[in-house]
């Protein structure tokens, strides 16, 4: 007998320490003395490191879901695996994942869909799937539990929902696959995008049927870089590179390796 989905699933399928401030004067004098004795070359190297580091994405705190970071060439395609990397058991999950621009061209990446506007069916038969062997979505095939829609531009939002077939919590080991996102980069485009939650939540037995919403801190990774070889790097890139080279040259000269220059 086919089991009726829970209310939540039906709804889901219809939507998508620091330094002591009182340090002694002697300690402060020692610190000042140390700063004065740092070579100019080392200061340049430190400055270059700090400036270049400012452009690197921060590592997010551990969340419930983790998505791959991927680089795709303009006009090409790529995949992003999304995994439930928490050991929190659950019996229901729905995620809306919107492609949001951080920098670069508009509409530089979108989800791949077929002629009917549907994405590929998620890996429901994978033995490491989130609800492997106890999936309502797998039991409902060929109905696709995933769909693609528009939030800011065409095919920028991926929605998926599933629940356990028996409505009981499913144990998690922190490695289970939720879905695979298939992406297409626009021809001649470049930029950096990331995944943003929309109408996303999960549920487990002790919530009493009140799902818990997912927010930005619950997703790690999901940075998508679109590269276009024909795009000339920004001037700031040349400045940072020059600064780094100057720092290296200074250090080599101080050590006697660049006396002939």
Same domain, 116 and 188: yes
Would 12 be classed as within a structural domain? Answer: no
129 in any annotated domain:
yes
Phi, psi of 203 (to 5 degrees): -145, 150
**Is the sign of the CA dihedral 130, 136, 138, 142 positive or negative?**
negative
Same domain for 110 and 78: yes
> Is 130 inside a domain boundary?
yes
What is the domain extent for residue 120? 61-227
CATH of the domain at 142: 2.60.40.680
CA–CA distance, 151 with 15 (Å, rounded to integer): 13
Single pTM value for the model = 0.68
237 and 222, same structural domain?
A: no
Q: How many separate domains does the chain show?
A: 2
Structure tokens at 112: 């791949």
| Per-position pLDDT tens, the chain of length 261 | 444 444 444 444 444 344 444 444 444 444 434 444 445 455 444 444 444 444 433 333 468 999 999 999 999 999 999 999 999 999 999 999 999 999 999 999 999 999 999 999 999 999 999 999 999 999 999 999 999 999 999 999 999 999 999 999 999 999 999 999 999 999 999 999 999 999 999 999 888 788 999 999 999 999 999 999 876 555 555 555 555 556 555 545 555 544 444
**Looking at the structure, do residues 112 and 212 belong to the same domain, yes or no?**
yes
């Amino acid at each position: 007998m086919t089991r009726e989905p829970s209310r939540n699933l039906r709804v889901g399928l219809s939507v998508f320490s620091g330094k002591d401030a009182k340090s002694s004067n002697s300690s402060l004098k020692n610190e000042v003395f140390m700063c004065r004795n740092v070579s100019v070359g080392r200061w340049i190297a430190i400055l270059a490191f700090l400036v270049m580091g400012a452009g690197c994405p921060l590592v997010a705190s551990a969340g419930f879901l983790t998505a791959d970071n991927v680089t795709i060439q303009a006009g090409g395609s790529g995949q992003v695996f999304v995994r439930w990397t928490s050991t929190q058991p659950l019996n229901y999950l729905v995620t809306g994942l919107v492609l949001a621009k951080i920098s670069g061209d508009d509409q530089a990446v979108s989800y791949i869909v077929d002629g009917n506007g549907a994405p590929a069916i998620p890996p429901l038969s994978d033995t490491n799937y989130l609800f492997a062997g106890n999936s309502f979505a797998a039991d409902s095939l060929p109905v696709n539990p995933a769909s693609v829609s528009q939030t800011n531009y065409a095919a920028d939002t991926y929605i998926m929902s599933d629940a356990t077939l028996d409505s009981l919590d499913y144990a998690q080991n922190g490695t289970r696959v939720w879905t695979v996102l298939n992406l297409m980069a626009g021809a001649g485009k470049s930029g950096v995008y990331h995944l943003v939650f929309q109408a996303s939540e999960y549920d487990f037995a002790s919530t009493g049927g009140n799902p818990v919403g997912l927010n930005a801190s619950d997703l790690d990774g999901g940075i998508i870089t679109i590269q276009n070889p024909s795009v000339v790097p920004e001037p700031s890139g040349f400045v940072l590179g020059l600064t780094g080279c100057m720092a290296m040259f200074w250090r080599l000269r101080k050590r006697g390796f660049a006396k002939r220059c």
